[in-house]
Structure formats: structure tokens, C-alpha cells
Chains A and B, each alone.
Chain A
Amino acid sequence: MVPSTSRRLFLELVGAHAALLGVAGSGLVALPGCGVYRAETGDAFEPWSFPGGETVPERVAARAGILAASPHNTQPWGIAIAPDAVEIRARLDRHLGAMDSLRRELHVGLGCCVENVAVAAAAVGRAPTVTLLPSPADPALVARVALVPAPPSRSPLFDAIAARHTNRGAYVDGAALPGLEQALRAVADDPRVGLRFLGSAPERARFRDETVLATEAICADAEMSADSGRWYRHTAEEIQEHRDGPTLDATGAGAATRTVGKALGRPSDDTMNEYWIDATRTRQTTGTAFVLLHTAAENLREDQLRVGRVYQRLHLWATSQGLAMQPLNQLPERQDREEARGMTPRFGPTLAELVGRERRAQMAFRIGVPWDDASASPRRPLAWVLS
């Protein structure tokens, strides 16, 4: 087996050769027939032209919902528009399998959708009232956002909806941002969702090390690795067909790596795992702080939805402030996996140390000042998710 360092060096040399041929992975050059396509092009990215020409307030709110964050860009939502409400339903078939063993992240993603709907509704003259899980007999109906005509209340969060993208590139490591923790707490503003801020160098180092170990554990778990890779969209055709999932352009990798990656075709799961571990060890754990969102230990679905709303609100706020965020959920993913499989806890206790033994870590992310802007990810259009 070729050592990983030799394989990476080979790819870098190929990238250099590609550069000599004038190929630029950022999308400046597209090579049809060679697999190299321009980033962020095609109908799969049209939803980011928000609100576009949409004028009906309920549809504007629904269009905002489809731009929310979701695990692996699975977009696990269905949306129904009524004259006085927008309802968000869980698409339980759009799950991550072993990567989200307890469907925690699926519900966090749904909470993100709810938040975007609420923020957009207020901006276009519809005061939102959110009811989570309004019908116990219908657990797939995760939220009903009642809309009442009101004066428009446009906020910087609304303006950030179309600009918010998960940034998986390098951040300025350890950049001092005085007051960040307090600002995040003020924005989070949910008594049932706790926030643990890891800003000191020792705290960040420990979280980084544990996240790398969790990433390695996920990659070593064949079922988790396969269920993660199943959502990866490699070619332009796959992106346009599915309009979901992680893409190469959204990985935060360098231009030459992305160009070579597109030209060489879909990588093996082993190769993707290698790159993910390397990225986690290097650029994807840089930043000012890591943050854990946690709830009561009962681990209720409603609390997970609240976590999603808080995360989306924080990400919109960060975007409005010129800051970047990226989920780093490897620790909670392994915690869930350990519980679902009855494995000896390894990462659950780590999280319990960080958030308190009477609490449950639901979501982890990094925040900081990015070096570069993030690329948009594809989105299923409103017509595909309306019911």
C-alpha cells in the first residue's frame, strides 16, 4: 500500500503539473470532458439568489428555510405553506445512518430550517410564532410557524441568510476577539440551550486533539464511513441531479487539490478519510474558539430543535460580523454511536467533562476569522421540498 505521505506528495506534484497547464481549481478554468467544472454554477446553486424575485411573504420565508444549515447538507426537511403558517416536516429518509445514530443531527438541522423561516418571515412583514412539535401524534411535524401580518422587521440576520456558508478553510488561529463569548451568549438567548465556550489555548488544544481522535474513530468505523461518503457529490452531474450533500469545492481545500480531485474522479473512501483526518488535524481546527451547545441530559427532540435554532442564529450573526463557523460534530457523533451500539464509552465521557455530567452535548462548532470566503453548497429548490 502506498504510504499516505507519498500519495499526497504525488497528488501535489500532479497538481503542480496541472498548474503548469494553466488549470486553476478555483473554477477559473473549466475542462469539459476532464471532469473539472467551475464552482458554484448551475441550477443547484440558484436558491442562493435569495429572495430572488419572490414577493409572497410565506414563500420568502420558505425559501429562507431551504438555505439553512444541515448535517452533510442532507436538507432533511419538507415544507408546507398555508395562508397563515409555514410547517416544517422531518424527511426521516434523508438521514446519515450510522453517522447520526440517534438522529440528533437530523433534528438539529430541522431546527436550523425553523430559525431561517422565522427570521425571514419577520423581515417580510409576518410576525412568526414558532411551535415546536405541535402534534404529538405526528412527530414528523417538527414545527409550525404561525404568521401574522405585522410591520416588516428586517434584521442583519435576514441579510446574512444568503451569505451564510459553512467555511471549512483555515481561520486565523487563536485570533483574539474580546467580547466574543458574551456576544455569542446574547445571541443564543435560549434558557434550555447551554453554551460552553472553549477559548483558551489549553482548552482549544484539548478539543482539537479529541476531535482528531474522534475523526479517526469514525474513519475506522466502516459503517459510519460508508454512510458519510454516501452523501458526497463528486461530479458536476451528481451535484445537479441531487442538489445536496458535501462537494469538493466546499471542503476548504486548496485550488490545485480541488482541480486534481475533480480530474481524477471520485476518490475511494480511504482517500476521502485520509484527507478528512488531515484537514481536521490542520486547517479545520483553527480559529478563535470552539463552542459546544448542550441541553438537559434527557436529550429531548424539542431540545435538539432548539439547538438547531440557536446554531442557525449564531451562524447568521457570525456571518453578519465577518466571522466564519464550521460544525465539528465528530465527538457527539461518536457519543451517539457508542450509545446506539452499546460500546464502551470513550468520547461520551469527554463531552460530559466539557459540558457537565448532567448535560448533553448536542452540537459543536468552531468560530473565527477566516482567511478566505467559503463556497456555497448546492440546494434543493423550494419546488422539490414543498408538500
Chain B
Amino acid sequence: MRWPACASVVALVVAAASSAGAEEPRFVPTAALVASGQSETVKVDVGGAHSEERRSDLRFGPAVGLGHRLTAPGRLSLDGHGSVGLGPNLGGGRYLLPLREDVAAAFRPRAWLALRGGLGAGLTIDLGRGATSYVELALPVSVTLVEVVELAYRPFLSLPVASEERTTFGGTRSLSASTALVPLDFTLRFRVPALGF
């Protein structure tokens, strides 16, 4: 299984790179592997006493997306990228569905190199426990080589959108995503201009 997959990836990169010299289409499909952090908070309020604790988890998974140019191509341009992913978190074993849209300024100091930085937003839906779903406000930065291989770092502010409440010893236990800065978010993305339009 491993070698045909690797060969397919290599072929994809070569095909994409061979078309990278031409003007990039306005819309470019992408495929990516994402490793992202996640933070949850539990709050306990019983008898006037308040306790709170936070824990982190790690999510891995693929994502597919569409890069889109917002301005005319050139040494400096404005690009967008929307994606949808799917993958489990390692601790909870629940599948998460992240929906993301980023807008970034792209600077191309060389024909084979693009540097991007901008703002992003997203919604990650916890398919196993909706109460720990969250909104993301992100600062994505990335390096793209030959407009095909992109390494992205996307720290984000996590904001909860729901919570799970339970009665506990006459009080309340509440579980939700944390309001927290999540510094861990890395993406290895492949842009496929050959499939662009």
C-alpha cells in the first residue's frame, strides 16, 4: 500500500510543478494533511465554590480545499483559501470537521517561492460531541514552493460555541472548548494547478 501511494504523490507533485511555470489559474484545488491542537475546559460550580481545569488534545487528518485569487496575479497579490477537513483527536477519539477560510497577502520574491500571511476564520465541528465545537480566529502564515508544496503554520484563538451541562452534586459541571490561544497548527498542503480553473 505504501509504495503506490508514495508514487502517486510524487507523480502529482511533478505534474503540478511542470504546470507551475504558466500563470496559475484563479481557482486551484488543494489536498493537505493537518496536525492541530485543541483545548477543552471543564468548570465545576457547587455550593458557591468554583473550579476550572483545561486540557489539550491533538487532531490529525486530511483536508481538501480550494485556493482562490482575490486580485490579479503578480509579485504581490491577495489570495484566499477555503478548506474542509476530517480527522479524529487522539485523546477523545472523536472525529472533528474543521471548516476554514483564510485570506492572505502573497509575496513572490522568486518565481518558485511564495510567502503568505493573513487572517483566517473557521468553525470546527466536533462530530462526536457537539458541545466542544469551536470557532477559530487565525493568523496563518505559509511558504509555498513552485506553487505546489505549501507549509503552513496557523495559530488560532479558539472560541467555544456550545457547552455540555450536567448536574453534579447539587451544582453544575460544564464542558466546552476553551477560550484559548492554540499555537499548534501545522499543514502540509499540495496545490494542484493542473486541476485549476
Closest to B62 in A: A20
Residues on B with beta carbons closer than 8 Å to the beta carbon of A19 = 59-61, 87-88, 90
Determine whether the beta carbon of A172 is less than 8 Å from that of B166.
no
Determine whether the beta carbon of B93 is less than 8 Å from that of A26.
yes
A221 CB to closest chain B CB (Å) equals 32
Closest 3 CB pairs of A and B: A255-B93, A26-B93, A176-B49
Q: Mostly helix, strand, loop or mixed at chain B's interface?
A: strand
| Distance of A28 Cα from B175 Cα, bound (Å) | 21
Instruction: Compute the total of residue contacts between A and B using a CB distance below 8 Å.
Output: 102
Stretch at the interface among B15-23, B40-48, B106-114: B40-48
B180 CB to closest chain A CB (Å) equals 16
B33 at the interface (CB under 8 A from A): yes
Residues on B with beta carbons closer than 8 Å to the beta carbon of A322 = 166-169, 173
| Distance of A27 Cα from B88 Cα, bound (Å) | 12
Q: Which of B35, B42, B88, B168 contacts A24 (CB 8 A)?
A: B88
B75 at the interface (CB under 8 A from A): no
Determine whether the beta carbon of A24 is less than 8 Å from that of B169.
no
Q: Which of B35, B61, B93, B95 contacts A256 (CB 8 A)?
A: B93
A226 CB to closest chain B CB (Å) equals 31
Mask of A350-377 contacts with B, CB within 8 angstroms, 1/0: 0000000000000000000101100000
Determine whether the beta carbon of A178 is less than 8 Å from that of B90.
no
Residues on B with beta carbons closer than 8 Å to the beta carbon of A258 = 93
Residues on B with beta carbons closer than 8 Å to the beta carbon of A23 = 88
A253 CB to closest chain B CB (Å) equals 9
State the interface size on chain A (CB cutoff 8 A): 34
Residues on A with beta carbons closer than 8 Å to the beta carbon of B167 = 322
- Interface centre among B59, B91, B128, by most chain A C-beta atoms within 10 angstroms, is B91
| Distance of A258 Cα from B55 Cα, bound (Å) | 19
A101 at the interface (CB under 8 A from B): no
A75 CB to closest chain B CB (Å) equals 28
Residues on A with beta carbons closer than 8 Å to the beta carbon of B51 = 172, 174-176, 369
With A19-B60, A26-B93, A28-B88 already in contact, 10 other A-B pairs whose C-beta atoms are closer than 8 Å: A16-B60, A20-B60, A24-B88, A24-B93, A28-B93, A175-B44, A175-B51, A258-B93, A323-B169, A371-B175
Mask of A14-45 contacts with B, CB within 8 angstroms, 1/0: 01100110111111100000000000000000
Residues on B with beta carbons closer than 8 Å to the beta carbon of A321 = 168-170
A85 CB to closest chain B CB (Å) equals 36
A259 at the interface (CB under 8 A from B): yes
A58 CB to closest chain B CB (Å) equals 33
Residues on B with beta carbons closer than 8 Å to the beta carbon of A174 = 51
Closest to B48 in A: A178
| Distance of A323 Cα from B170 Cα, bound (Å) | 11
Q: Which of A20, A26, A180, A254 contacts B61 (CB 8 A)?
A: A20
B interface residues, Cβ below 8 angstroms from A: 33, 35, 42, 44, 46-51, 53, 55, 58-62, 87-95, 128, 166-170, 173, 175
A183 CB to closest chain B CB (Å) equals 8
Closest to B47 in A: A178
Mask of A167-197 contacts with B, CB within 8 angstroms, 1/0: 0001011111111100100000000000000
Determine whether the beta carbon of A369 is less than 8 Å from that of B89.
no
24 contacts between A and B (CB under 8 A): A15-B90, A16-B35, A16-B60, A19-B60, A19-B61, A19-B88, A20-B62, A27-B93, A28-B88, A172-B42, A172-B53, A175-B44, A176-B50, A178-B49, A183-B169, A254-B92, A255-B91, A256-B93, A258-B93, A321-B168, A322-B167, A322-B173, A369-B173, A371-B53
Q: Which of A22, A27, A177, A178 contacts B87 (CB 8 A)?
A: A22
Residues on A with beta carbons closer than 8 Å to the beta carbon of B59 = 19
Q: Which of B46, B49, B92 contacts A26 (CB 8 A)?
A: B92
Determine whether the beta carbon of B95 is less than 8 Å from that of A24.
yes
B39 CB to closest chain A CB (Å) equals 13
B130 CB to closest chain A CB (Å) equals 15
Residues on B with beta carbons closer than 8 Å to the beta carbon of A178 = 46-49
| Distance of A174 Cα from B51 Cα, bound (Å) | 8
Determine whether the beta carbon of A176 is less than 8 Å from that of B91.
no
| Distance of A120 Cα from B59 Cα, bound (Å) | 43
Residues on B with beta carbons closer than 8 Å to the beta carbon of A28 = 88, 93-95, 128
Closest to A371 in B: B42
| Distance of A133 Cα from B44 Cα, bound (Å) | 43
Residues on A with beta carbons closer than 8 Å to the beta carbon of B46 = 175-178
| Distance of A12 Cα from B57 Cα, bound (Å) | 12
